[in-house]
Amino acid sequence: MKTARIIGTGSYLPERVMPNSELETMVDTSDEWIVARTGIKQRHVAARDEFTSDLAEHASRRAIQAAGIQPTDLDLIIVATTTPDLVFPSVACLLQNRLGIHTACPAFDIQAVCAGFVYAMDVVHRFFQTSGCRRALVVGAETFTRILDWTDRNTCILFGDGAGAVVLEASDEPGIISTHLHADGKYHELLNVSSGVSSNYSQVLRGEAYTQMQGSEVFKWAVKALGDIVDETMEHNGMQKSDIDWLVPHQANIRIIAATAKKLNMSMDQVIVTVDRHSNTSAASIPMAFDEGVRDGRIKRGDTIVMEGFGGGFAWGSALLRY
Ligand code: ACO
């Protein structure tokens, strides 16, 4: 059976950088508090006329170029996003059109908030195993700042915009090894945007569809769920923690990342950290961090990697892969 092996990566950050000092002028916070409690120093914010599909396109073109293929070589596109341009069509379909692909190439979005990219990796893994898929593009892309209340210091300091992408190819060599997904919707009230198309639509029309979170509750849950998912991933594959070369975690909070690394007995030198510069970019954070590790030469061919993510739903999961 063929595996899904990553052959190219790419990412994109909007030009505008918003440092913590700018947030100090907007809400009752401080750079010291934000850095100490989250590790975040700055975030990137998309321009008004820049949409999730734009970010996704930039990241995708870089990944396609790195893979050394043409867009028309793709036969599947999956975009993980919580902040699509439109209610429909999907960002994946908009992206497919921009890339000039008009052949038999299914394209669809996945919405699992900050776990979106690992959910997408699970789906693509199954496509390669069951459908004869040969080359796929998997993207995490968000304009998360569009759903922030810039007067709420509990949330507005945490999130930013960006996109990351990987191209995967059917291979006889190891690629994605296993994926592990979980969700528990009973916690939906701890982290959500409480309006959408079929409920509280008036809030959306007023531009008040904002992220709300009970941060410390979510924090406790994230640490536990991510610790457990790491154990599950190791046990499922009969692996030792020492078999893992790199942890590429969702970038929500440096304290959550450090707790997961500790669980894996990994030093922080084996963890790709971008949260300081990118903040939490939801579904985009893992592929952006992965791209950074590949491009700066830390992640090498043959390395074994754990990706893990946790977010609204709650939804969480992991992907174990050989690069
Ligand atoms: N600046 C200054 N003080 C603040 C700020 C701020 N920006 N925000 C909160 N505080 C205050 C609180 O009001 C509170 O004050 P009090 O003690 O007087 O009541 C105090 O700081 C401590 O607040 P906590 O919420 O307990 O702080 P905590 O250490 O938990 O850090 C944080 C908050 C950073 C949000 C943390 O809880 C966290 O990272 N949570 C998890 C986030 C996450 O992983 N989300 C999942 C993915 S996101 C997604 O899926 C969309």
Number of the ligand 1 atom closest to the C-alpha atom of 215: 37
What pLDDT shows up at residue 103? 79
Helix 254-263 and helix 31-38, axial crossing angle in degrees, nearest 10: 20
Instruction: State which ligand 1 atom lies nearest to the alpha carbon of 157.
Output: 7
Within 6 A (CB) of ligand 1 lie: 29, 33, 37-38, 113-114, 153-154, 157, 191, 215-216, 218-219, 222, 252-253, 256, 280, 282, 310-312
Q: How far is the CA of 154 from the centre of ligand 1 (A)?
A: 6
pLDDT (mean) for 104-130: 96
Task: Note the pLDDT of residue 260.
Answer: 92
Q: Is the pLDDT of residue 275 over 90?
A: yes
Residue 263 confidence class, pLDDT cut points 50, 70, 90: confident
Atom nearest to 218 CA in ligand 1: 41
Q: Which helix (H) or strand (E) holds 79?
A: strand 76-80
Asked whether 137 and 76 are in contact (CB, 8 A), the reply is: yes
Residue 274 pLDDT exceeds 90? yes
CA of 27 to the centre of ligand 1 (A): 14
Decide which of 3.90.1150.10, 3.40.640.10, 3.40.47.10, 3.40.30.10 is the CATH code for 3-173: 3.40.47.10
Q: Choose which residue among 113, 159, 219 to substitute to test ligand 1 binding: the one with the highest number of ligand atoms within 8 A of its C-beta.
A: 219
**Of all protein residues, whose CA lies closest to atom 15 belonging to ligand 1?**
154
- What percent helix, strand, coil does the chain show, rounded to 5? 40, 25, 35
Task: Map residue 156 onto helix, strand or coil.
Answer: coil
What is the pLDDT at residue 2?
86
Nearest CA residue ID for atom 24, ligand 1:
216
Residues acting as catalytic residues = 114, 250, 280
CA of 217 to the centre of ligand 1 (A): 9
- Homologous superfamily (CATH) of 178-322 is Thiolase/Chalcone synthase (3.40.47.10)
pLDDT per residue as tens digits for the range 45-71: 999 999 999 999 999 999 999 999 999
The pLDDT of residue 6: 98
Q: Which atom of ligand 1 is nearest to the CA of 214?
A: 25
159-168 pLDDT tens trace: 999 999 999 9
Strand 304-311 to 246-249 pairing = parallel
Residue pair 241/266 in contact (Cβ under 8 Å)? The answer is: yes
Q: Kindly report, residue by residue over 231-249, the tens digit of the pLDDT.
A: 999 999 999 999 999 999 9
* Alpha carbon nearest to ligand 1 atom 14, residue: 154
**Would you call 215 exposed, middle or buried from its count of C-beta atoms within 10 A (0-12, 13-18, 19+)?**
middle
Say how many Å lie between the first and final Cα of the chain, rounded: 18
Q: What is the mean pLDDT of residues 36-42?
A: 98
Instruction: Give the sheet arrangement for strand 107-110, strand by strand.
Output: 3-12, 161-171, 135-143, 76-80, 107-110
Domain boundaries, the chain: 3-173, 178-322
Whether this prediction's pTM lies above 0.85 is answered by yes
Give the mean pLDDT of the chain.
Answer: 96
Under the banding of pLDDT at 50, 70 and 90, the label for residue 72 is: very high
pLDDT, tens digit, 9 for 90 and up, residues 309-323: 999 999 999 999 999
Confidence of residue 264 (pLDDT cuts 50, 70, 90): confident
Identical fold between 3-173 and 178-322? yes
